[in-house]
Amino acid sequence: MEKTKYLSLLAKIKLKKEETSKLEEEIEKIIEYFNTLREKYEYREKEEMVCREREDIPEKSDIELKDLTSHFENGFFIVPPMVK
Amino acid sequence: MKDPACMSFKEIKKLLKTKKLGYREIWESVKRKIEENEEYINGYITLFTEEVEEDVKKLDEKGETPSEKKPLLGLFLAVKDNIAVKGKPLTCASKILSKYVSPYDATAVKRLKNKGALIVGKTNMDEFAMGSSTEYSAFGITRNPFDKERVPGGSSGGSAAVVAYGGAIASLGSDTGGSVRQPAAFCNLYGFKPTYGRVSRYGLVAFASSLDVIGPIARSAEDIMEIYKVIAGWDENDSTSLAYPLREPRDLKFKGLKIGIIKETMEENHPKVTRVIEETLKNIEKMGAYIKDYSLPLIKKSVAAYQLIAMAEASSNLARYDGVRYGLRVKKESIEEMYKETRGEGFGEEVKRRVMLGTFVLSSGYYDRYYAVAVSYRNRLKAIFEDIFKEVDFIITPTSPTPPFKIGEKKDPISMYLSDVYTAPFSLIGYPSITVPSSQIAENGFKVGIQITGGWLSDEDVIKLGGLIGESCC
């Protein structure tokens, strides 16, 4: 299914220079923390994944984490299709 | 006689009915507490002193006492500033809504007013309910009345602080991941998060719509029950509101009661928190309850899943604040510049962080890696708790892993998010939870919050057990 591209208004925020570097640093740490959700865990003597690994998860994104604040300046995000 | 501002509503009601106390005396006492404390605590954003004065005058003239029709007469109530009160400011503690006035009452507020409650004012909070300390407010921080160097918790920190110092008899807060329970625990009070959908969200400013619930904060479980019974129930204005009728609580006794404990919630706490919870459990066991231990390592990941879902929903919900329809507008040449400048100027630090992260985790290439995983975690957690509640009646955990922390102590956002580690799991599954203050002081005047959670729609039983534990064994 083709992806829908549009200028996302909800992403628009003007950031001050001093905010940008602080936010970039913090957001990187928070995303790292979110990655822990993908680790396996033990429940009732069974090793489980929270979410089954799927083959169709896109390998790449058009947005790199390091460029996140500039994307907010431009308000540009690629939104995945609503129905998969 | 005890200062009326420091009484529970149950005590006030009894005295009003027997005419040993008048509305004027209660109001004067509450007003005095506000005058003495508010300058430093900063629990209120707006006060409705003049309207309350008028209402008190009318009540005293009529000589009406609390009745079946108006059971909440004499309840001087504070309302969190993300819940709509008609004709009054609704700021969400944000610069972007600082001049916005609500044109209607939230369903919960309307029901409380109809039953006689008097709204004293709107309370301070973390901006758009995003925070756990009430430090992220455009109207200044709120301080804990028991130790002014410490936070009152959040995001309903103002609602907890004003009840704790006597500036209201009870209050309404909103709980998305622990925002009623954690501040109530930090201020030695009772706080209740109903089953998701039990209380209408109509008039509650949306933060994370699949998690948001309105809940009361009070000085006793009876007061919580009294408020809950008024605000709960189906509402045609909220499509997620549940249509099941309210019921009386079960005839609960400790003997034979089955309580579940999750090992992982007892491991990495402040030592005094763990000690108080262990002693409470021992007492409950002595009175005949059966304690069953569970190991659930998954629970440690609940904050990550909660934050992912809440941020994703917040990024969408807060898109409406664009300078066109609500509040602040920064004038610019182009409409795009106006959007960007208004949101940049109007939102605070934590809100910007969450909107950005929420948009990021919903964007192509990251949706499946983050948001879908969090949704899957939520479903897994729900299935596990459904199994657990087939074996036990209630689950007991600490409300927070630590006593209230110092203002400015948590500089790193993740450490702030982790304050919700024991409340977030029950928000994700939508089950009812109450926090009950321990009778023992753990540290510096602070009690420990004991969190009791029951199965889906067991709200009345959870409040009842909260009362039993609060009175008899903690």
Residues on chain A touching B376 (C-beta within 8 angstroms): 50-52
Contact B331, B221 (CB under 8 A): no
Q: Quick one: pLDDT band at residue A76, thresholds 50, 70, 90?
A: low
pLDDT tens figures, B256-315: 999 999 999 999 999 999 999 999 999 999 999 999 999 998 899 999 999 999 999 999
- Is residue B175 helix, strand or coil? strand
pLDDT tens figures, B175-212: 999 999 999 999 999 999 999 999 999 999 999 999 99
Q: How close A82 gets to chain B, by Cα (Å)? A: 11
Contact A27, A33 (CB under 8 A): no
Residues 57-76 of A with CB under 8 A from B: 57-58, 60-63, 65, 68-69, 72-73, 75
B80 annotated active-site: yes
Average pLDDT over residues B224-240: 98
Two tokens, residue B456: 């889906």
List, in sequence order, every beta strand (DSSP E) within B109-224.
118-123, 170-175, 190-193, 213-218
Contact B189, B93 (CB under 8 A): no
Q: How close B321 gets to chain A, by Cα (Å)? A: 9
Cα B226 from Cα B217, distance rounded (Å): 11
Cα B46 from Cα B25, distance rounded (Å): 22
Predicted pLDDT of residue A1? 35
Residues on chain B touching A72 (C-beta within 8 angstroms): 356, 359
Q: Residue B364 carries which side chain, given as an amino acid letter? A: S
CB-CB neighbours of A60 under 10 Å: 8
Predicted pLDDT of residue B205? 98
CB-CB neighbours of B243 under 10 Å: 9
Cα B152 from Cα B157, distance rounded (Å): 5
Interchain proximity B297–A42, CB inside 8 Å:
yes
Q: Does A3 contact B at CB distance below 8 Å?
A: yes
Residues on chain B touching A39 (C-beta within 8 angstroms): 301
Q: Which is nearest to B75 in space by CA: B36, B29, B108, B112? A: B112
Q: How close A42 gets to chain B, by Cα (Å)? A: 7
The answer to whether the predicted template modeling score (pTM) of the entire model surpasses 0.90 is yes
Q: Quick one: pLDDT band at residue A57, thresholds 50, 70, 90?
A: low
* Average per-residue pLDDT for chain B: 95
Predicted pLDDT of residue A17? 84
CA distances from B248 to B114, B251, B289 (A): 22, 9, 22
Predicted pLDDT of residue B64? 92
CA distances from B415 to B113, B402, B419 (A): 39, 12, 7
Catalytic residue among B155, B171, B174, B438: B155
Nearest to B364 among A14, A39, A62 (CB): A62
Q: Is B255 left (phi over 0), alpha (psi -120 to 50) or beta?
A: beta
Please tell me which residue, B173 or B441, carries the higher pLDDT value: B173
Instruction: Find the closest chain A residue to B369 by CA distance.
Output: A57
Q: How close A33 gets to chain B, by Cα (Å)? A: 7
Interchain proximity B318–A50, CB inside 8 Å:
no
Annotate B225-263 with three-state secondary structure: HHHHHHHECCCCCCCCCCCCCCCCCCCCCCCCCEEEEEH
pLDDT of A53 higher than 70: no
Q: Does B416 contact A at CB distance below 8 Å?
A: no
Q: Quick one: pLDDT band at residue A75, thresholds 50, 70, 90?
A: low
- Is residue B331 helix, strand or coil? coil
Q: Residue A23 carries which side chain, given as an amino acid letter? A: L
* Average per-residue pLDDT for chain A: 70
CA distances from A4 to A11, A75, B149, B284, B313 (A): 16, 15, 50, 57, 20
Q: Does B100 contact A at CB distance below 8 Å?
A: no
